Amino acid sequence: MSSPAGDEGEPGSFLDRVVTEDDPHAVLAGLHAAARAADAREAIIYLRAEYVGAHRAMERAIHEAHAAGWLGDDLHVELVIGQGPYICGEEASLLRAIERGRPHARPLAPFPVHRGLWGCPTVVHSVESLLTLNTTLTTGRGQDRRLICVSGAVREPGVVEALHGMTAGQIIDEGAGGLKDGVRMVLVGGPRGRVLNADELDLPLDPEHVPGMGYGSLMVLSEDVTPRALAEHLFQFTAAESCGACTACRVGASLMPKMVDSEALTTLMEHMSSAARCGFGRETPRPVLDLLRLYPGELFPHK
Ligand code: SF4
Atom 8, ligand 1: residue with shortest CA distance: 243
Ligand 1 midpoint to CA 68 (Å): 45
Q: Is the CB of 272 under 6 A from ligand 1?
A: no
Contact between residue 231 and residue 288 where contact means Cβ atoms under 8 Å apart: yes
Q: Could you read off the pLDDT of 140-198 as tens digits, one per residue?
A: 876 788 889 999 999 999 999 999 889 999 999 999 999 999 999 999 999 999 999 99
pLDDT grade, residue 106 (50/70/90)?
low
pLDDT at 90 over 90: no
pLDDT at 95 over 60: yes
Q: Which atom of ligand 1 is nearest the CA belonging to 272?
A: 1
pLDDT at 18 over 90: yes
Going from N- to C-terminal start, the domains of the chain cover: 2-139, 145-222, 227-294
DSSP 1-56: -EEEEE---STT--HHHHHHHH-HHHHHHHHHHHHHHHT-SEEEEEEETT-HHHHH
pLDDT at 108 over 70: no
Q: Distance between CA 248 and CA 246 in Å, rounded?
A: 6
Ligand 1 midpoint to CA 281 (Å): 5
Angle at 22 between CA 141 and CA 100, to 5 degrees: 100
Half-sphere exposure of 106 (CA within 13 A, CB side): 11
Same topology between domain 2-139 and domain 145-222: no
Contact between residue 228 and residue 196 where contact means Cβ atoms under 8 Å apart: no
Q: Distance between CA 48 and CA 194 in Å, rounded?
A: 25
pLDDT more than 70, % of the chain: 90
Neighbour-count burial of 126, counting CB atoms closer than 10 A to its CB (0-12 exposed, 13-18 middle, 19+ buried): middle
Q: Which atom of ligand 1 is nearest the CA belonging to 243?
A: 8
Q: Distance between CA 50 and CA 150 in Å, rounded?
A: 20
Q: Distance between CA 192 and CA 213 in Å, rounded?
A: 8
- The CA–CA distances, whole Å, from 23 to 16, 50, 53, 58, 215 equal 10, 18, 12, 9, 20
Atom 3, ligand 1: residue with shortest CA distance: 244
Atom 2, ligand 1: residue with shortest CA distance: 246
Half-sphere exposure of 239 (CA within 13 A, CB side): 13
Prediction pTM value: 0.84
Angle at 216 between CA 180 and CA 182, to 5 degrees: 15
Q: Which of 90, 280, 282 to mutate to test the pocket of ligand 1 (most atoms within 8 A of CB)?
A: 280
Give the CATH architecture of domain 2-139: 3-Layer(aba) Sandwich (3.40)
Q: Is the CB of 245 under 6 A from ligand 1?
A: yes
Q: Which atom of ligand 1 is nearest the CA belonging to 241?
A: 5
Q: pLDDT value at position 172? A: 96
More confident residue, 11 or 148: 148
Q: pLDDT value at position 199? A: 92
CATH topology of domain 145-222: Ubiquitin-like (UB roll) (3.10.20)
Q: Distance between CA 147 and CA 159 in Å, rounded?
A: 6
Which of 248, 279, 294, 247 has the alpha carbon at shortest distance from 88? 279
Q: pLDDT value at position 42? A: 92
Q: Could you read off the pLDDT of 170-184 as tens digits, one per residue?
A: 999 999 999 999 999
Q: pLDDT value at position 112? A: 54
DSSP 192-241: GSEEEEGGGTTSBSSTTTSTT--SSEEEEEETTS-HHHHHHHHHHHHHHH
